[in-house]
Amino acid sequence: MIDPIKIVAIGGTTRPNSSSEKALRIAARAAQHSGAQVCFITGSDLILPIYETQSSDRDERAIRLVQQVRGADGLLISSPGYHGGMSGLIKNAIDYLEDLSDDARPYLHGRAVGCIASAYGWQASVTTLHQLRQVTHALRGWPTPMGGAINSQVTQFDESGQSTDVAAISNLELIGTQVVEFARAFRQPTPLS
């Protein structure tokens, strides 16, 4: 029996139910509907000590983050756009992935990463999305072909996390599906020529 696909969904802000977390949850639901198990690291789970290169001491939330990513087949990362880039909260969490540098699968090697950015305006959402994709490349991950730039002036979520912006919802669902599709394809044995 093949183990289920495991996806780690990282994102949001310290404010519960932020637009970046709601967007993340829509993509994650699509991943679940595609058969994946999803672990969420959001909100207060992201309040980590500043990543220190000189110390290997880690608090329990940082250990959980690294362990979950270590066992993951793919990730979904959603950041708010703060002043034209990803939030410090999300960047700090990503910095902890340096702890995977000596693994057999270093960093995000062989993992698809669905990137989502939510900001008040197109410029900030697009530049934040670009930054998430750059960081994914730097960590040897594979950004999904579809990325999500959510302009919260245009796309608004209700209390339950739903939106009437059909195009945005469709894009977020496609991101979640693509992460799972890539993870499945990566697990397939490569035929010998």
Domain spans of the chain, in order of start: 6-187
SS3 call for 111: coil
**In the prediction, which pLDDT does 103 show?**
96
CA 176, distance to chain mean position in Å, is 10
**In the prediction, which pLDDT does 162 show?**
82
Decide: 80 and 19 in contact? Cβ < 8 Å.
yes
Fold annotation for 6-187: Rossmann fold (3.40.50)
pLDDT single digits (tens) 156-189:
887 877 888 888 999 999 999 999 999 999 876 5
Residue 128 has pLDDT above 90, yes or no: yes
Interatomic CA distance for residues 163 and 156, integer angstroms: 6
pLDDT single digits (tens) 61-109:
999 999 999 999 999 999 999 988 999 999 999 999 999 999 999 999 9
Q: 53 to each of 70, 93, 96, 131, how far by Cα in Å?
A: 19, 13, 9, 22
